[in-house]
Copies of this chain bind each other. A is one copy, B any other.
């Protein structure tokens, strides 16, 4: 039987308090100790320097209480606010992100993952292409092909765009740490554009322009995140697992579109080689 608890606790990471949502699942053949008691004994005693180390420490300490555990899973998520600067006016803002971490004990080994959930914008490549064709047809009544090329190349043709949530989890090992604030930056830079809580008009123009210069389906966002992970985190061993999931709140539909990739660093490297 697998026993679980879903709860909220204050946890301490690098001497800073975070209000975290924690879920812990323990699989045992027989009856487990009450997980709330287990969690309480250990959660305040852990001082970790990262969320993934916290998750790992939680599993190790839980193991002391539930000795016969065949499997232990821990998931943690916490809000964090980071300073950002608006693209044109360069004013400082606070933006909210979610740090996530997961650790699993199974077959005598612990796998720990660090990640984040980031909100941004995607604009649709397909609709934009259709509107470029439409625009070319309209312009043909008055302009030459080379003039039309100039126009299309220089002004932002409309597309539909929407709020997107992209979530990444990466398995980490000793000596291959990932700074989660840097990872948030990586994810944010993989969407059609970063978004901001407050934008003056010149900033707004900049963000919309950027989003239309980089139209991306959800699967493009996933692919971009994967490419950047391979480029940036060269210490990650080939057997590290990566999970990337991107979801768009489609503005021209009532439904959401999702893309997801679960693969090892080795598998992704192999794929990227073929695509070269």
- A-side residues, CB < 8 A to B, are 1-10, 19, 25, 31, 35-37, 39-40, 44, 79, 81, 93-96, 119, 121, 123-124, 126-127, 130-131, 133-135, 138-139, 142-143, 147, 150-151, 154-163, 193, 195-202, 204-205, 207-209, 211-212, 218-219, 222-223, 249-262
User: Which residues on the B side are within 8 Å of A1 (C-beta)?
Assistant: 219, 222-223, 259-261
- Assess whether A130 is in contact with B93, with CB atoms less than 8 Å apart: no
Q: Oligomeric state, in number of copies?
A: 4
Subset of 19 A-B contacts with CB under 8 Å: A1-B261, A5-B255, A6-B256, A7-B256, A8-B255, A25-B260, A31-B219, A119-B254, A127-B205, A131-B209, A134-B205, A135-B154, A135-B156, A161-B162, A163-B250, A195-B253, A195-B254, A204-B252, A208-B252
From B36, B130, B198, B257, A198 is in contact (CB under 8 Å) with: B36
In the complex, A6 Cα to B247 Cα: how many Å?
Answer: 10
User: Which residues on the B side are within 8 Å of A209 (C-beta)?
Assistant: 131, 134, 158
Indicate whether A158 sits within 8 Å of B208 (C-beta atoms), given known contacts A151-B151, A254-B119, A261-B2: yes
Q: How far is the CB of A4 from chain B (nearest CB, A)?
A: 4
User: Which residues on the B side are within 8 Å of A200 (C-beta)?
Assistant: 37
The residue in chain B whose Cβ has the minimal distance to the Cβ of A152 is: B155
In the complex, A83 Cα to B33 Cα: how many Å?
Answer: 24
- Assess whether A161 is in contact with B161, with CB atoms less than 8 Å apart: yes
- Assess whether A205 is in contact with B130, with CB atoms less than 8 Å apart: yes
User: Which residues on the B side are within 8 Å of A131 (C-beta)?
Assistant: 155-156, 205, 208-209
- Assess whether A4 is in contact with B260, with CB atoms less than 8 Å apart: yes
Q: How far is the CB of A115 from chain B (nearest CB, A)?
A: 17
- Assess whether A5 is in contact with B259, with CB atoms less than 8 Å apart: no
User: Which residues on the B side are within 8 Å of A156 (C-beta)?
Assistant: 131, 134-135, 157-158
The residue in chain B whose Cβ has the minimal distance to the Cβ of A154 is: B138
- Assess whether B121 is in contact with A252, with CB atoms less than 8 Å apart: yes
- Assess whether B222 is in contact with A126, with CB atoms less than 8 Å apart: no
